[in-house]
Amino acid sequence: ADARFFGLGGRASGPRLRDGVHRLWNADPGRPFGPQDDPLHITMPVQWVVADAGTHLVFHDNSWDGTVTLREGAEGAGSGHDRAGASELRMDGGPLRCWVVVGTPARVAQTWASLTGPAAVPPAWALGHQHARRGPGDEQEVRRVVAGHHAHGLPLDAVHLDVDHHEARQVFTVDQDRFPKLPVLAEELRRDGIRLVSVVDPAVRAGSGSAVHEAGAGEDAFVRDASGRLVRGVARPGEVVFPDFTHARVRQWWGGLYQERLAQGFAGFWHGMNEPTSFAAFGERTLPRSARHALEGRGGDHREAHNVYALCMARAGYEGVRELVSDERPFVLSRSGWAGMQRYGGAWSGEVATGWPGLLASLSLVLGLGLCGVPYSGPDVGGSDGASSPELYLRWFQLASYLPLLRTHTGARAGCREPWGFGEEVLRHARAALVERRRLLPYFVSLARLARRTGAPYVRPVWWGAPEDRALRDCGDAFLLGDALLVAPVLQPGVDRREVRLPRGRWYDTATGRAYEGPGQVVVDAPLARIPVFARAGAVIPVRGDEGGLELEVWAPAPGRPGGGLVVPDPGDGWGEAAVERYTVRRRDGRVVVEGEREDGADVPARPVRVRGLGGR
């Protein structure tokens, strides 16, 4: 009766899934979405059930269209009067194959990762600030945006170019009028520490004059119907055909096409429209269900292939880039996907509606995807349509600065999305958020490395360490960032104080140093300048020092309660692995003692240590 449901992919109405029908069919809603929209770009038959009796995950290994109908239980007036919760799965076809994982949340996540594969580790620059552009623009516009960030003291690590940099919006092309010297631009930006990221859509313009189409036709790479005719649709370049990524030969061909992008200077890739989306040719905004696919040699139709289409495209891109640039880890973002997509990269939210409901949906999506094994994801700051108010933009920016993917996005319908366009106050506070993100970069690097090793997402529900706490199971407006931090974003307008529910143990307000004891609810200040962030007593957090080196920020443990933490230094953007550093923290004779664990015993840390929280109580 007390169970709560979570997961099922990226859901805008979560993270706790309410009663009702949840469809399992990756969909482009065709407009900016909010909490009321379902399904969205990434659905997965992966469900978490968290109850007093324990936590378990259920995975229905079936990619067909289906639904999950949930009904939470209710406790009755007395013994024997409880109403049990229920979860009912209906699929249009496919096997009845189910996996169940039971244990603590950490154990469940680790087992799930061992089943579906370890998460790809993004390069360190992808854990910084990224900015995307959509709409008319050229090389000078990109330089203007980069110069604006530099002039206003805003760290910037990557610029994303959308379809408007393509020739007639055709994939693997460049508009030479707007970007006549794109490789030169890319090299200039790289010298400043900024990478270029290219959008890559699956749709290929049909007909003569398209080099990609002609090459794909020679490979027999495109989806056909049962009669052997090419399946055509309508997408951003016009009339298009779609590669069949469920065929290994097609994936290898497609992966080789990224050589053109690499030659233009791009360092990362952003997959869009890959549900796949077709605008008008069919009843649904996708391929006809009768379209035929290889499905790794089994053969089948789009009813089975639809949900894994983007997963297979991500695999094609990731493996292609890995082969072409063997000394660097690929960076691939995908709008759509399925279980196991974390092996090939992360996810971005798609077009979230501008507004406070869209802000809440952004957090829901990241939490849901993390529980389903995709630790690296994030929204477009400010939403995708219409003008954002300065307050909304700043609160969205502050939230995103603690999410794995921090990306601002200027779109054709979105208006200004650079911080300096919202006034001096917003600019000042956004700069502070980016400075703190840069300071915490070593912590994000450690979380990325640990996510690959353990399956634990960077962003976790507040019940992660205490699933037996019913109040935490119902808390959807805050989250844990790793084991050390609890972040309580402001998700409503006009708020300068908010309630925060703390898990058990001592927590420090990182802005004031004041200590609070959990479990329980506290009320703290949330001025426009910042959102509440708490550090767990005894936590060891790797941070970037004033000189750029790695330092240890240690939060004083409560008396009689030892602490500690894991640190994974950044070994670079290649394939090297760094050893996990383990630290313990305890109080001794009124002092805080920090020791590094070694095989032959404990030792004083070789890194600088800063202890905080001693004056908190």
Contact indicator for 583, 567 with CB cutoff of 8 Å:
yes
Amino acid sitting at position 305: A
Structure tokens, 440: 């915490």
The pLDDT score that the predictor gives to residue 77 is: 66
User: Which top CATH class is 459-535?
Assistant: mainly beta
Extents of the domains making up the chain: 4-116, 459-535, 540-612
Contact indicator for 28, 277 with CB cutoff of 8 Å:
yes
Contacts made by residues 473-480, CB under 8 angstroms, sequence distance 24+ = 473/4, 473/16, 473/50, 474/4, 474/16, 475/501, 476/14, 476/15, 476/16, 476/363, 476/364, 476/367, 477/360, 477/363, 479/363, 479/367
For residue 366, what is the enclosing H or E element? helix 356-371
pLDDT class of 20 with cuts at 50, 70, 90:
very high
Contact indicator for 155, 194 with CB cutoff of 8 Å:
no
Asked whether the predicted pLDDT for residue 282 surpasses 60, the reply is no
pLDDT tens, 48-71? Answer: 999 999 999 999 999 999 999 999
The architecture CATH gives domain 4-116:
Sandwich (2.60)
When pLDDT is averaged across residues 577-601 and rounded to a whole number, the result is: 91
pLDDT class of 378 with cuts at 50, 70, 90:
very high
The pLDDT score that the predictor gives to residue 83 is: 87
Return the percentage of the chain with pLDDT > 90, whole number. Answer: 91
Asked whether the predicted pLDDT for residue 502 surpasses 80, the reply is yes
pLDDT tens, 200-231? Answer: 999 999 988 899 999 999 999 999 999 999 99
Same fold: 4-116 with 459-535: yes
- In degrees, rounded to 5, the angle at the alpha carbon of residue 414 between the alpha carbons of residues 352 and 277 is 50
265 three-state secondary structure: coil
Amino acid sitting at position 407: R
The pLDDT score that the predictor gives to residue 616 is: 64
Average pLDDT over all residues of the chain: 95
The pLDDT score that the predictor gives to residue 385 is: 85
The pLDDT score that the predictor gives to residue 416 is: 74
When pLDDT is averaged across residues 149-165 and rounded to a whole number, the result is: 96
Amino acid sitting at position 369: L
The pLDDT score that the predictor gives to residue 15 is: 95
pLDDT tens, 410-453? Answer: 776 766 789 999 999 999 999 999 999 999 999 999 999 999 99
Closest C-alpha to 172, from 139, 136, 212, 203: 212
pLDDT tens, 512-555? Answer: 999 999 999 999 999 999 999 999 999 999 999 999 999 999 99
